[in-house]
Amino acid sequence: MFINLIVLLIVIAITVFLGRLTFRAVKAQRLWVKILGGLGAGLLTLVFAAVSFFGIKGMMTVYFPNAAPAPDLKVDATSEQIARGEYIANIGCVGCHGVDQAPPLKGGWNMAEAEGFGFMGQVATENLTPGGKLANYTDGEIFRAIRHGVNKDGDMVMFMSMISYRELSNADTEAVIAYLRSLPAETSDAPTGDKLNFLGIVVMGSGMFPMPEPAPDSIDAPPAGATPEYGKYVATIGECRGCHGSDMTGTPASPAGPAVPNPRPFVGTLTLDEFIQSFRTGVRPNGTPFSEGMPWQSASMMTDDDLAALYAYLTAEP
């Protein structure tokens, strides 16, 4: 934050300097200085003013995200909670926080670099085992990190604040916390966490990565069953909505990644058994495998009941 603040102050100072230069050029005696100097310095002033503006907005977004205080929470960590948390973590968290998408959850995957926005700085997954920073978090602070996307210091955590685990129910969020606490401590030398540089701050301020609406403090899951409502919740746990769009109708290409298709027309051609089979094997009934961009492995770990709910959701009206 300190270095980014210094850079911001320098950029603002340059803006003011260029502004004064423009003013002097416009006032100059000679016509060519007036026109060329005024235009050149004026344009540069505008560019630096825009960078200053987005820089200030980005600093506010990242360092002052205005999140509520962490709830006063102590998770009981029953064996049911730990088992439920493990199920969710294996479907959801391990893909990013694991090592090559497998346990242990010791993080260190630099997503900024992997996804082609490394120019913004480091955005690396965190070590979620008790060997990492969460050892110094209260249960409430972990809850707030997952739900509201801010770390212990109240700074925004970039990726977590955009993905759908903010919509996990309170019970499931607590189950995940119970599971993370139960893991053996793993240490890792790989750098973890966000280290956005000034360009990253400016990009965040420009709104190129749209931030979702703030999540409510309390969330209940719909009743479990093969219904579209519960299937939508399963799609949240599976992070399907993060790629296929909030309503699972596909997303156009954006700075965050290439276009992702609407899966509904294809699913509409399948029976429930074919649907489950496709996700267990990664191969469609016609023999074409899912491509690498489609992480079917996480869905392959879902129970038949959860896949049936997903099927009900994807074959209903969006």
Query: Should residue 175 be labelled a site residue for ligand HEC when binding is judged by CB under 6 A?
Result: no
Look up residue 68 and give its two tokens.
Answer: 């509520």
Residue 293 interacts with ligand HEC (CB under 6 A)?
yes
Stretch that binds ligand HEC, among 49-57, 59-67, 90-98, 201-209 (CB under 6 A): 90-98
Minimum distance of ligand HEC from residue 174's CB (angstroms): 11
User: Which residue type does 213 have?
Assistant: E
Q: How far is the CB of 260 from ligand HEC (least distance, A)?
A: 5
Joined together, the tokens standing for residue 278 give: 């496709």
Spatial separation of the C-alpha atoms in residues 190 and 267, rounded to whole Å: 40
User: How far, in Å, CA of 150 to CA of 156, rounded?
Assistant: 4
- Out of 22, 45, 52, 151, the only residue in the binding site for ligand HEC (CB under 6 A) is 151
State the CB neighbour count (10 A cutoff) for residue 244. Answer: 20
Q: What amino acid occupies position 66?
A: N
Q: Are 112 and 209 in contact (CB under 8 A)?
A: no
* Size of residue set near ligand HEC by CB under 6 A: 46
Contact 4, 196 (CB under 8 A): yes
- Name the residue among 233, 258, 255 with its Cα closest to residue 310: 233
Residue 18, Cβ neighbours under 10 Å: how many? 20
Per CB under 6 A, does 219 bind ligand HEC? no
Is residue 61 within 8 A of residue 205, CB to CB? The reply is yes
Please identify which residue in 139, 167, 194, 306 interacts with ligand HEC, judged by CB under 6 A.
Answer: 194
Residue 25 sits in the site that holds ligand HEC (CB under 6 A):
no
Is residue 111 involved in binding ligand HEC (CB under 6 A)?
Answer: yes
Contacting residue, 38, 98, 193, 231, with ligand HEC by CB under 6 A: 193
Cα 59 from chain centroid (whole Å): 18
Q: Which stretch binds ligand HEC (CB under 6 A): 44-52, 152-160, 199-207, 222-230?
A: 152-160
Residue number, 38 or 239, with CB nearest to ligand HEC: 239
Nearest approach, Cβ of 30 to ligand HEC (angstroms)?
Answer: 53
Is residue 96 close enough to count as binding ligand HEC by CB under 6 A? yes
Question: Using CB under 6 A as the criterion, what x/- string covers residues 116-135 for binding ligand HEC?
Answer: -------x-xx-x-----x-
88 binds ligand HEC (CB under 6 A): yes
Gap between the Cα atoms of 209 and 123, Å rounded = 14
- From CA 174, how far away is CA 163, in angstroms rounded? 18
Which one, of 176, 215, 174, lies nearest residue 76 by Cα?
174
At 211, list the tokens.
């931030």
Nearer to ligand HEC, 25 or 310 (CB): 310
Task: Collect all residues with Cβ–Cβ distance below 8 Å to 100 and sequence separation of at least 6.
Answer: none
Which of 41, 59, 62, 146: binder of ligand HEC (CB under 6 A)? 146
294 binds ligand HEC (CB under 6 A): yes
236 lies in the site for ligand HEC, by CB under 6 A: no
Q: Contact residues for ligand HEC (CB under 6 A)?
A: 88-89, 92-93, 95-97, 111, 123, 125-126, 128, 134, 142, 145-146, 151-152, 157-160, 163, 165, 176, 193-194, 235, 238-240, 242-244, 260-261, 263, 266-267, 290-291, 293-295, 299, 310
